[in-house]
Amino acid sequence: MEFFEFQLPNGIRVVHKNVDSPIAHCGFILNIGTRDENVEEQGIAHFIEHTIFKGTSKRKAYHILSRLDDVGGEINAFTTREDISIYASYLTEYYDRAIELLFDITFSSTFPEKELEKEKDVVIDEIFSYKDSPSESIFDEIDEMVFKDHAIGRNILGSPEMVKSFNKKKILEFMGETFSTSELVFSSVGKISEKKLRNIVEKYGSHIPTKSRSRERLAVSSSSYAPRYVEKKMDTYQTHAVIANRAYDANHPKVTALILLNNLLGGTGMNTRLNLNIREKYGFTYNLESFYTPYSDTGIFGIYLGTDKGSVEKTLKLVIREMRLLRDKPLGVMQLRKAKKQLIGQMAIGQESNVNSMLSFGKALLTFGKIESYESVIEKINAVSSEDIQEVAREVFNPTKLTTLIYRAK
């Protein structure tokens, strides 16, 4: 893996992977997310992601959007519970143009009040659109149940009432308290020399003053979790359900075993246990998957299903059966070997996406302070034993720790 790192005097870290491609990708990953919001600020990180493109000290919104579009490039952003990513894709010859624009947006946005008011309607429409989709909104509600009374469990989008209350003053106060030059990473994947990239980044980034975070990020207490069971009647055709539990944080030594277990149980493959033993065997459900999301100091594991109202109990029983089997019965040698090969192959295919690599490098440097090589990750996967898998299953699939949420069709 050919990549290099360097750091500006103000704390901004830079990572680049050299690839032989006419297309390049770069962007900022900021250590600011939903979990940094106070109760009266819910949704403001996501609102900033929308409005950061609405004007800088030297550009209006039109000029921001046209700067890369005019040469066939793209600029985009997204918000998670722990970070905001702002990134661009473009022909390699426009590296300077893309980097200059990203630095301008990230460090010189002015958040004009007129533009904020227009964007409020866009975000509120997004909120209502999300609420119209129970297969999506159920994930937000299960997060709120698993991380009750903590910001990390709150809806990323916020509420219409909260969005309406946002203004330039609130945005600048939030950014002023959470923004830190040492808690963001500029990540790049493309065909450019180290010297040239360093010169461009230093040209647009060296003058930026050092800034430190003043708002402390509240840790998630492990003792605050209490499993719950909630059912809601919904005016839908399908019944939706999620079973979830708190899981390991991103730095936990058992993370690799849980990633392997999750992929085996209900990952992206068509041959997962949930898919083969429930969907294919009985035809009870169309949507059936498991998920694991690690954060810096906690995590969540869950299983989601969507089925008709007459099959939900049968499906849930079969899901619980699969979890119990993984707790009670260790994987055989061939089963474990097959699971490892599948995960390694999926990772290799995932590396074909340069934009995903760019984002993952930035996130890794931000979270862990380093980027693990592909070979190192494979070593960790191959080191996982059948006993490790079973131990993780007993902890994460513990029936006394599971939270269940059902949107039952009327």
Distance CA 127, CA 94 (A): 35
Query: Does the structure show a pLDDT above 80 at 1?
Result: no
Distance CA 212, CA 208 (A): 12
Q: Which two tokens stand for residue 245?
A: 């539990």
Distance CA 83, CA 267 (A): 24
pLDDT of 341 reads: 97
Instruction: Tell me the pairing of strands 23-30 and 84-91.
Output: antiparallel
Which domains are seen in the chain, by residue range? 3-205 (3.30.830.10), 226-409 (3.30.830.10)
Summarize pLDDT for 377-390 with one digit per residue, the tens. Answer: 999 999 999 999 99
Query: Does the structure show a pLDDT above 90 at 238?
Result: yes
How high does pLDDT run on average in the chain? 96
pLDDT of 225 reads: 94
Distance CA 84, CA 124 (A): 19
Query: Does the structure show a pLDDT above 70 at 46?
Result: yes
Q: How far is CA 80 from the centre of its chain?
A: 5
Tokens 């049968």 locate to: 314
pLDDT of 222 reads: 83
Query: Does the structure show a pLDDT above 90 at 286?
Result: no
- Pick the closest to residue 57 from 11, 106, 8, 119 (CA basis): 106
Query: What is the DSSP code (8-state) at residue 279?
Result: I
pLDDT of 368 reads: 92
Distance CA 188, CA 118 (A): 32
Angle between helices 333-350 and 386-396 (to 10 degrees): 80
Q: Which amino acid is at 109?
A: S
